[in-house]
Amino acid sequence: MILFTYIYKILKRVFFYIKKIQWIFVYFKFKLNRVKFKDLKSNGIPITDISIHGRVNIGRNFQMNNGYSYNIIGRQQPCCFIVGRGGELIINNNVGISSTAIVCWNRIEIGNNVRIGGGTVIYDTDFHSLDYKERISLPEIKDNVMTAPVLIKQNAFIGANSTILKGVTIGEGSVVGACSVVTKDVPDNEVWGGNPAKFIKSLKN
Ligand SMILES: CC(C)(COP(=O)(O)OP(=O)(O)OC[C@H]1O[C@@H](n2cnc3c(N)ncnc32)[C@H](O)[C@@H]1OP(=O)(O)O)[C@@H](O)C(=O)NCCC(=O)NCCS
């Protein structure tokens, strides 16, 4: 039986490496969406929908895991890069993300060395108006949908399955606990967590 287990493990590894050629699809998908990038490493293929009037700039050494077989912590899904008209998404150097959805209608910036855990979502918009009459009108009125920029400063770490909402700044070196909903700014070098995320502790010595 152990022999079959070895064969199974070898085939799994071989299949894993064969799938690495998916980077070719990512390359063309990003180019066709006018995403500016340098040397990214992608396991799997992200969902990408960038408006003709949106902009995406990705720095050096960007790494992403896109769902099944590349995100072994559960809740597998590909990363999503959705940038609306006039939106600007900036991902600086040495950033790593897993199964993360980024929806940008305004401006989202992710600083150097940021790590974002699997299943996280980052929204700089409410998507729909707060006025139900605008939400139910046909076509839906989106002129008054609120948006505000999101900034995740360098060296921050966002725990898995967190939600970062519009207008939030996550401080330099700060940590957001798993499954948090961040609605307010997190200062530098602090740990915040929960829904809504609250101060847990300082990381300053
Ligand atoms: C936030 C975190 C780093 C804190 O770890 P820690 O320093 O060991 O802290 P502790 O476990 O001692 O918890 C300290 C306090 O924070 C609370 N806390 C910890 N994680 C929390 C979370 N995700 N949400 C809300 N509160 C949290 C604890 O309940 C505890 O509260 P108390 O002091 O009232 O008892 C850790 O809990 C966490 O969420 N890690 C992220 C893991 C992850 O998602 N990795 C990414 C995988 S891709």
Closest approach atom of ligand 1 to CA 159: 44
CA proximity to 160, closest of 106, 116, 117, 101: 117
Domain of residue 57 covers 2-202
Query: Considering its fold, how many domains does the chain have in total?
Result: 1
CB 108 within 8 A of CB 102: yes
Phi then psi for residue 196, to 5 deg, are: -70, 155
Output the pLDDT for position 73.
Answer: 78
Residue 149 makes CB contacts below 8 A (sequence gap 6+) with: 106, 107, 108, 109, 124, 166, 167
CB 168 within 8 A of CB 197: no
Q: CATH code at 98?
A: 2.160.10.10
Output the pLDDT for position 20.
Answer: 77
Output the pLDDT for position 137.
Answer: 96
The Cα 197–Cα 121 span in angstroms is 14
What global pTM score does this model have? 0.93
Whose CA is closest to atom 48 on ligand 1? Answer: 117
Instruction: Tell me what the mean pLDDT of segment 83-92 comes to.
Output: 97
Closest approach atom of ligand 1 to CA 118: 48
pLDDT in tens, 32-81: 999 999 989 998 999 999 999 999 999 999 999 998 777 777 788 999 99
User: Could you tell me if the CB of 67 is within 6 A of ligand 1?
Assistant: no
Q: How confident is the model at residue 204 (pLDDT cuts 50, 70, 90)?
A: confident
Average pLDDT, whole number, for the chain? 94
Q: Residue 4: which H helix or E strand, with range?
A: helix 2-18
Asked whether the predicted pLDDT for residue 205 surpasses 70, the reply is no
